[in-house]
Structure 1
Amino acid sequence: MSSGPDLYRHAKIGDFTQTPPTFHNPYIDDPLLRRTLRRLVSQKHLDRVSKDLSQFGDRIVAEINHLGRRCELNQPRLEQHDAWGRRVDELIVCPEWNRLKEICAEEGLIAIGYDDNIDSVTRRVHQVHFFSYPLICI
């Protein structure tokens, strides 16, 4: 029996391919998340925020997931000097990084956490947004 790198070089039968993961709306498809929200938030408030959470989940699947993958392929880089040796210290990011920053602002992912005037229901909804957002961008 062979060992080492030769053992894993080729598939013994046919080709080996994996199907890429498919992402679904985390709010709709995560039963634990929904059960937890039902326990922590009254039904009246849950009815009010369900549409927003569902739309955000759809946005994660349709837009944010793709942007996150592009960002992983195009990591930010620091350009410290220009072609003439002058110090510029410029952070170069792909357009997808900027778009994700805009989405964070649109959804209030950061700002809501610093607002002292919001109620506990809004805090829970903010936590669900914040919980769902990075899972897909990995």
Structure 2
Amino acid sequence: MSYLLLFASAFLAATVLPFYSEAVLVSMMMGGHHHGLLWLSATLGNTLGAGVNWWLGRYLLHFQDRRWFPVSKQQLEKSQYYFKLYGVWSLLFSWMPVGGDALTLVAGIMRVNFWLFFILVLIGKGVRYYVVMLLAQATLTGSL
């Protein structure tokens, strides 16, 4: 059940909702949970949450003419320009706290193949959680 809690917190952290899963991850590490399962839960949850952003981006443009649409035409064009400039490989940086969620949303808008998107985001987020866990472990054991 606790792994499901971590999965859910990582999932929410990857969406446009302001949420952070690292605190849950580190507290579970301190609680003696299996590190491999923690990494897997956090990585999959965060990657699937990014998939929600991709899906939203894919269908978001249907509403761009509405008054409530959250992004101006200029912001949208700028985001698309930078995504084209740096390409699909930029999805490896979807783990970044600032801009990572927007990157996954733009990938949907740009109609990046979902499986390519999924693999690149999975790699980026997997490496991120691995580094977070290494740093947390080093800090907890005093070897940093």
Please report the TM-score for the alignment, with normalisation by the length of structure 1. Answer: 0.28
Larger radius of gyration: 1
Which has the larger share of strand? 1
Please report the TM-score for the alignment, with normalisation by the length of structure 2. Answer: 0.27
Which has the larger share of helix? 2
